[in-house]
């Protein structure tokens, strides 16, 4: 079995960060979102992985992710010239996939479930397609599946006004080679894309074996700022292990689960976990509150931060009011001007410079 991970798209919902970088490389708990999917796939025993990339961000994805050595995988990069739909991504990946069954994984998703559970069901039942589903409170915002009591998929509906269920398509699919014939027979949708839901519906209409399984645990879509911050909170809450590899002076206090990277210096500060701090950071006279992720080479002086994600090389100096629910890009610089506000909340792109009045 092989795998393809979709890591293209423009990431419009995470702008301005994604004007300068791939949304799948935005970190959650200091690890690119894309890497969680790769690790899950390798943990399921699949090591031949194709990553679908776009012209705009493909070079960055390749440079940061590499050939797969760090994951124990062999990664092939497949260029999708334009965002022409998920089924189109499968179509251009067909030379890589050959006649192999495969898993398709959207690169901005995070799931807690063990993929082996679904791979085993797919193989045992000799299915043409298996879709992963999750109960959601707002099914009108998602692709939704209608299934029978035995798990057979009867129909897929994209963002229905009247949902047939509350079971949303997670963005992880398993396919037999028969999906290629289905894609060859569908037409672009009203938005000009080849939809994977149309290809799966073709299989259903032609009496192929299409089933669904509900995931166990959480599913996190990281397409928006608040979703990404929630993903960061959940990962820190469930996966973070305490470790201190940097220097913490006697005036500082570490409370709860906190990970501090190599050559980072914590001076006269309080860190209240869960918090992860990368390598080569300088944190002085600060309070770092729960659910904060601070990437490598970040400088924080006289700052109060909670429930936020700071990317590599960001600096915050002399901000004496609490910063919460914020996403701050690489090398962004914040410093406080003489007049101070009462509250601060940011989403700041890479290389920004801001003076707070």
Can you give the CATH number for the domain in which 126 is found? 3.90.550.10
315 and 350 within one domain? yes
* Kind plus residue range of the DSSP H or E element containing 182: helix 178-185
248 and 267 within one domain? yes
* Kind plus residue range of the DSSP H or E element containing 236: helix 225-239
Categorize the per-residue pLDDT at 162 as very low, low, confident or very high, splitting at 50, 70 and 90: confident
305 and 334 within one domain? yes
Which residues on neighbouring strands pair with residue 287, listed in sequence order? 270, 304
Boundary of a domain, candidates 203, 235, 267: 235
Between residues 199 and 9, the one the model is more confident about:
199
Domain span at 260? 242-356
Categorize the per-residue pLDDT at 12 as very low, low, confident or very high, splitting at 50, 70 and 90: very low
Helix and strand element counts for the chain (H, E): 8, 32
Distance of CA 185 to the CA centre of its chain: 31
**What is the pLDDT, as a whole number, of residue 67?**
96
In the chain, the number of structural domains is 2
Handedness of CA 138, 236, 43, 53 (dihedral sign): positive
Above 70 in pLDDT, residue 349? no
Boundary of a domain, candidates 176, 206, 235: 235
**What is the pLDDT, as a whole number, of residue 17?**
53
Which residues on neighbouring strands pair with residue 335, listed in sequence order? 317, 355
Distance of CA 113 to the CA centre of its chain: 15
Residue with tokens 């025993």: 45
258 and 180 within one domain? no
Pick the range with the lowest mean pLDDT from 1-10, 116-125, 280-289: 1-10
Condensed to tens digits (0 to 9), the pLDDT of residues 281-329 reads 999 999 999 999 999 999 999 999 999 999 999 999 998 888 999 989 8
218 and 179 within one domain? yes
276 and 350 within one domain? yes
3-state secondary structure 88-133: HHHHHCHHHHCCCCEEEEECCEEECCCHHHHHHHHHHCCCCEEEEE
**What is the pLDDT, as a whole number, of residue 339?**
59
Q: How far is 308 from 156, CA to CA, in rounded Å?
A: 36
Give the CB-side neighbour count of residue 336, counting CA atoms within 13 A.
19
Pick the range with the lowest mean pLDDT from 5-19, 110-124, 151-165: 5-19
Mean pLDDT, all residues of the chain: 89
263 and 138 within one domain? no
154 and 60 within one domain? yes
**What is the pLDDT, as a whole number, of residue 24?**
84
**C-alpha triplet 138, 142, 148: angle, nearest 5°:** 90
346 and 257 within one domain? yes
255 and 170 within one domain? no
Taken as a whole, the chain contains a residue count of 357
250 and 209 within one domain? no
Categorize the per-residue pLDDT at 11 as very low, low, confident or very high, splitting at 50, 70 and 90: very low
CB 34 within 8 A of CB 64: no
Boundary of a domain, candidates 209, 235, 261: 235
Pick the range with the lowest mean pLDDT from 68-72, 259-263, 330-334: 330-334
289 and 246 within one domain? yes
Collapse the DSSP code of 7 into the 3-class scheme (helix H, G, I; strand E, B; otherwise coil) and give the result.
Answer: strand
**What is the pLDDT, as a whole number, of residue 194?**
93
Can you give the CATH number for the domain in which 327 is found? 2.160.10.10
Categorize the per-residue pLDDT at 115 as very low, low, confident or very high, splitting at 50, 70 and 90: very high
Using CA atoms of 210, 185, 3, 216 in order, give the dihedral in degrees to the nearest 10: -30
What does the DSSP 8-state code read for residue 11?
-
């Amino acid at each position: 079995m092989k795998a393809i991970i979709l890591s293209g798209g423009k990431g419009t919902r995470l702008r301005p960060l994604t004007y300068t970088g791939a949304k799948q490389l935005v970190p959650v708990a200091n690890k690119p979102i894309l890497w969680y999917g790769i690790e899950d796939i390798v943990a399921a025993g699949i090591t031949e992985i194709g990553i679908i990339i776009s012209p705009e961000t493909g070079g960055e994805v390749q440079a940061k992710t590499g050939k797969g050595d760090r994951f124990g995988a062999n990664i092939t990069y497949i260029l999708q010239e334009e965002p022409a739909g998920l089924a189109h991504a499968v179509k251009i990946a067909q030379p890589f996939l050959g006649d192999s069954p495969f898993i398709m994984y959207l690169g901005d998703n995070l799931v807690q479930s063990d993929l082996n559970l679904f791979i085993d069901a797919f193989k045992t039942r000799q299915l043409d397609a298996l879709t992963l589903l999750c109960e959601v409170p707002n099914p009108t915002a998602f692709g939704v599946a209608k299934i029978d009591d035995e798990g057979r998929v009867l129909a897929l509906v994209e963002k229905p006004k009247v949902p047939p269920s509350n079971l949303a398509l997670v963005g992880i699919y398993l396919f037999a080679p028969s999906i290629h014939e289905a894609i060859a027979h569908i037409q672009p949708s009203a938005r000009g894309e080849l939809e994977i839901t149309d290809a799966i519906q073709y299989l259903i209409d032609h009496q192929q074996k299409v089933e669904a399984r509900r995931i166990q645990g959480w599913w996190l879509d990281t397409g928006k700022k608040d979703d990404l911050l929630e993903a960061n909170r959940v990962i820190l809450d469930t996966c973070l292990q305490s470790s201190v590899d940097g220097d913490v002076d006697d005036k500082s206090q570490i409370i709860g689960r906190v990970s501090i990277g190599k050559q980072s210096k914590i001076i006269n500060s309080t860190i209240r976990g869960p918090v992860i701090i990368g390598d080569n950071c300088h944190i002085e006279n600060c309070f770092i509150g729960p659910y904060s992720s601070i990437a490598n080479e970040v400088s924080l002086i006289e700052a109060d931060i909670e429930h936020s994600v700071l990317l590599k090389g960001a600096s915050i100096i002399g901000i004496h009011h609490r910063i919460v629910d914020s996403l701050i890009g690489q090398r962004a610089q914040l410093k406080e001007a003489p007049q101070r506000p009462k509250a601060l909340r940011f989403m700041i792109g890479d290389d920004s410079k801001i003076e707070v009045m």
